Amino acid sequence: MDYEFGPETMHLLKKPVTIYDIAKKLAVSASTVSRALKGGNGISPATRKRILSAAETMGYSTNSVASNLRRQNSKTVGVIVPKLNSVFLAEAIAGIENELSKAGYNLLISQSLESVKKEKENVKAMASHRVIGLLVSLAYDTDDINHFRQLMDNGTPVIFFDRVFENDHFPVITINNFRAAYELTSHLIAEGCRRIVHATGNQLQNVYKERTMGYKQALMEHGISFDPSLLIISNLTYEEGLEFGEKLAADGKRPDAIFAANDQFAAGCMQSIKKAGLSIPGDVAIAGFNDDPLCCLVEPNLTSVEYKGFSVGTEAAAKLVDVIKNGSRSAYKIVLKHRLIARSSTQKMDTLLLGRDEPFSSTLVQ
């Protein structure tokens, strides 16, 4: 048999066998079959066995579409992320899938491609599919979350992770971005840096806004006045990092450190700064954020903030399962651990590895 069911040959297809087919064959009622199939009580072991084996031989496959409609419950969870091809988000989704499949849920996934517009469409699709919960990391330009309102109104739990919007209605899962950036900046200052560039993203996004605040706070506390010309807003791609590094290397009044809000940008900077013949961290110290695997591949190794996508995903999914099953909310904000990992890209002094096994903020904060 070959792979060629054209519009003309459709009639050749066996159509899926239903519980009625099984029922007829065994001369029982459909409800008996239904009961047998779902494995609870209220049915004799004998008939169950007959039904199960008939189902097997007839090639029966539950129609969950029908079942979902009838039970008003889809066993499907939606996930909306800005993009699927990012190490962090891929890790997060892996964590989510892992957790959710354990709980017997399926995953409907879509990407907003960093656009609120598509995000709104995605939400609508999720609503149509009657997902029983939604996990979301917001698009680059999302600046309010009214488009999630309707879902919430009919009781569908929505949980935000990583790129979130602080609010009083939905749980939110992040790290303490402020604190992490504060720690990182303080580390740079401790290494003797004074003119520290901060390259970051859209300030509408909590993650970037908070990191910027942490950066400013650290400067302030160390008596360094904030220089707006050292704050760079960028899309934080590797390429933009490259470009920025080039410009910086040519700069007469060159900064002595770069703190980028992600590792890609930092790696780009590193590349072009090395190419320009400057030494790292001697001339310019460089730090990133996320602790992407690339941190240990570039030379010198890149100082960064560890923030595991997999755990974020796992945590978000676990929280969702909890909310679905218990219907209650135990915390509206979960702050996950982070860890500053100082590597050679910032260690001008002979300092010790700063990575701490006792990270700053651990889990649950109400």
Partner DNA sequence: CTGTTAGCGCTTTCAG
Partner DNA sequence: CTGAAAGCGCTAACAG
From the list a second copy, DNA, none, pick the one residue 332 interacts with, judged by a Cβ distance below 5 to 8 Å according to partner type. Answer: a second copy
111 binds a second copy (CB under 8 A): yes
For a second copy, give the closer residue by CB, 7 or 228. Answer: 7
> What is the C-alpha separation between 19 and 55, in angstroms, rounded?
8
**What, of DNA, a second copy, none, does residue 364 touch, CB below 5 to 8 Å by kind?**
none
Angstrom CA distances, 360 to 177, 316, 320, stand at: 11, 20, 25
Show contacts with DNA in window 283-302 (CB under 7 A): none
Total binding residues for a second copy by CB under 8 A?
A: 75
Which residues in the 258-317 window bind a second copy by CB under 8 A? 267, 271, 293-294, 297-299, 309-310
| Residue with Cβ nearer DNA (67 or 361) | 67
Residue closer to DNA, measured from CB, 105 or 182: 105
Tell the smallest beta-carbon distance from residue 59 to DNA (Å): 12
The yes or no reply on residue 19 touching DNA (CB under 7 A) is yes
Nearer to DNA, 18 or 115 (CB): 18
Is residue 192 a contact residue for DNA (CB under 7 A)? no
**Count of residues engaged in binding DNA, rule: CB under 7 A:** 31
Report, in Å, the least distance between residue 71 CB and a second copy. 10
Which of 217, 119, 214 lies closest to 175, judged by CA? 214
Under the binding rule (CB under 8 A), the answer on residue 1 touching a second copy is yes
Q: How many helices (H) and strands (E) does the chain have?
A: 12, 12
Is 41 strand, coil or helix?
coil
Burial class from Cβ neighbours inside 10 Å (0-12, 13-18, 19+) for residue 116 reads middle
State how beta strands 76-81 and 158-161 pair: unpaired
Q: Which amino acid is residue 314, in one-letter code?
A: T
One-character DSSP codes across 170-221: S-EEEE-HHHHHHHHHHHHHHTT--SEEEEE--TTSHHHHHHHHHHHHHHHH
Using the minimum distance from each CB to a second copy, give the nearer residue, 22 or 189.
Answer: 22
Is there a contact between 175 and 162 (Cβ–Cβ < 8 Å)? no
Of 51, 17, 49, 50, nearest to 33 (Cα)? Answer: 51
Interface with a second copy (CB under 8 A), residue from 29, 64, 235, 279? 64
User: Which one of 32, 76, 345, 346 is in contact with a second copy (CB under 8 A)?
Assistant: 76
User: Cα separation of 306 and 341, whole Å?
Assistant: 7
| One-letter amino acid for residue 49 of the chain | K
Q: How far is CA 208 from the centre of its chain?
A: 15
CB of 71: closest distance to DNA in angstroms?
5
Of the candidates 11, 70, 253, 325, which one interacts with DNA according to CB under 7 A?
Answer: 70
Amino acid letter, 236: L
Residues 199-228 that bind a second copy (CB under 8 A): none
According to DSSP, residue 304 is labeled: E
Name the β-bridge partners of 340: 305
Measured at the CA of 103, the angle between CA 97 and CA 105, to 5 degrees, comes to 60
Closer residue to a second copy (CB): 74 or 206: 74
- 85 contributes a contact to a second copy by CB under 8 A: yes
How far does Cα 236 stand from its chain's mean position? 17
The option from DNA, a second copy, none interacting with 229 (CB < 5 to 8 A, set by class) reads: none
Min dist. Cβ of residue 47 to DNA (A): 4
Measured from the CB of residue 110, what is the shortest distance to a second copy in angstroms?
A: 6
Identify residues 23-52 at the interface with DNA (CB under 7 A): 27-32, 34-35, 37-38, 41-48
Instruction: Tell me which residues touch DNA (CB under 7 A).
Output: 15-16, 18-20, 27-32, 34-35, 37-38, 41-48, 62-63, 66-67, 69-72
